[in-house]
Amino acid sequence: MADFDYTDLLPLGADETEYRLITAEGVRKVEAAGRTFLEVDPEALRLLTETAIHDISHFLRASHLAQLRKIVDDPESSGNDRFVALDLLKNASISAGGVLPMCQDTGTAIVMGKRGRHVLTDGQDAEHISRGVYDAYTKLNLRYSQMAPLTMWEEKNTGNNLPAQVELYAEDPHGHPDEYKLLFMAKGGGSANKSFLYQETKAVLNEKRMMAFLEEKIRSLGTAACPPYHLAVVVGGTSAEYALKTAKYASARYLDSIPTEGSPSGHGFRDLEMEAKVFELTQKLGIGAQFGGKYFCHDVRVIRLPRHGASCPVAIAVSCSADRQALAKITPEGVFLEKLETDPARFLPETTDEHLSDDVVSIDLNRPMPEILAELTKYPVKTRLSLTGPLVVARDIAHAKIAELLDNGGEMPQYLKDHAVYYAGPAKTPEGYASGSFGPTTAGRMDSYVERFQAAGGSMVMLAKGNRSKQVTEACQKYGGFYLGSIGGPAARLAQDCIKKVEVLEYPELGMEAVWKIEVVDFPAFIVVDDKGDDFFTDKTGPVLTIGRR
């Protein structure tokens, strides 16, 4: 029997974060029972939350921006790597103006807090934090994405992006009983959908098996969540849910300061050697920053946790190009928020687009659909395009309604026959702008509709982000269609520079899920699936590791 030896599961090191003061109001020291307490007003929690949601919607960490610049400067980057990185830097510069959020999917608000034992509140912390979320989402040009279940099958958008996910713990952060430490995150559907749990066994706990396992699973992430990613891998866990939660925090670099070695006490640790090996693996996959190259990931975190002897969970999560999180703290000195980069333009290179990418083919979307298809068929997959003209915008609910129309004997709407369809849903439109942030959504959610829509003469050219299933490739080959991949991530730049007009065509009651018609100029895209049965991603599915494969 071993001696009692307590350890935190994830012991954090010193906090090296650079903070900025939000306010010195709403906090005060009070004396009671021979001890000094920190009293925090509800308004301090509300204001901190509202400010945090604003900042993470518009600003990024300087370290993340430096990683984007590294891609531009790396001579081993592909032309497409550099083009995507440059577009994301431009997007960050536009978003930092505080009007257009960096991504149209402004996410679920997630807040985790650790409240020291000498911090006094009115006990309604989650409500005050939620009020701050409400104020940010209703005042700013953000999108409401939260669906309230009315019955098992019926849902209604809450209209304010609540509820938020708020988790609060009674714990002295970094040993300080009079501090309140918080982590704010905005998690969009794309990256949230790339959180995975695998229930493995001890057989995977050797390097050869683990690397082969990870190669297969990392490939399956695809590009729908807007790489380059911050990738997190967690091996072990006292429960499945703890493994997944640890992966989420690790992808936000929240756990960077935990130990780098294990011990008999059982705390988790970072394996820096495995991080380097997995990162090298991601660079060999060839997927790159969405359209081929080296930079599928910015970095990798690998965390080993204790486990039950009969269970070996492995969790994988990513933070995407909308890398939205910030730390905060409330102390006797005031209310503080992590200092994010407000001048991302300083990371932009002098180099122009023409020096960074391959030749660009201009496509006039004003032409009849047969002429557009005849032009696209001249070029191979991976060709970079510049689109100008009208697009129809439709996503999940609109596709379901059109499918129901066909089921009832109706005709394919003429607008889907005449125009390319863009899978997207806009954020709110700021005053004086043609559009709010309006980047592409994940294409794969519409895969099941493609064959029947193309058979009816619609969806012949599709535009979205991420890879598609084999059924889409087969449909395009059969009916002569194309899938064009747009860059996932630069929603603010697309709104400011590329989208010139937006109008509702059908289903206005669906809000951002309505069918829209938009006019675009120089909208960037790549041919991903063509009419010959070629798919850019099919040559990225073979293994690069040959050791120890099962």
pTM, whole model, 2 decimals?
0.89
CA-nearest of 537, 484, 545, 526 to 221 is 537
Q: For residue 347, what are the contacts with CB-CB under 8 A and spacing of at least 6?
A: 65, 66, 68, 69, 89, 92
Q: What is the pLDDT of residue 541?
A: 54
Classify residue 3 by its DSSP letter: P
C-alpha dihedral, 466 to 469 to 474 to 480, nearest 10°: -20
Q: What is the pLDDT of residue 425?
A: 87
Q: What is the pLDDT of residue 548?
A: 42
CA-nearest of 392, 296, 334 to 44 is 334
Q: What is the pLDDT of residue 487?
A: 87
d(CA 226, CA 229): 7
Cβ atoms 76, 160 nearer than 8 A: no
d(CA 40, CA 128): 11
DSSP 225-256: T-SSEEEEEEEEESSHHHHHHHHHHHHTTTTT
Identity of the residue numbered 436:
G
Output the six-digit token pair for 337: 């928020």
Consecutive 10-residue runs of the chain (550 residues): their mean pLDDT? 92 96 97 95 98 98 98 94 93 95 95 98 98 98 95 94 98 94 96 96 96 96 93 98 98 98 96 98 94 95 97 97 97 98 92 58 97 97 94 95 95 97 92 91 94 97 93 97 91 93 92 92 94 84 52
Output the six-digit token pair for 334: 């005031």
d(CA 431, CA 459): 32
Identity of the residue numbered 440:
P
Q: What is the pLDDT of residue 512?
A: 82
**CATH class of the domain whose range is 361-529:** alpha beta
Beta bridge partners of 313: 199
Strand 515-529 to 297-307 pairing:
unpaired
Per DSSP, which regions of 58-121 are E strands?
108-115, 119-120
Parts of the chain belonging to CATH 3.20.130.10 = 361-529
Cβ atoms 332, 27 nearer than 8 A: yes
d(CA 521, CA 360): 14
Per DSSP, which regions of 154-245 are E strands?
155-157, 165-170, 180-187, 196-200, 229-237
380 prior amide bond cis, ω within 30:
no
d(CA 453, CA 411): 10
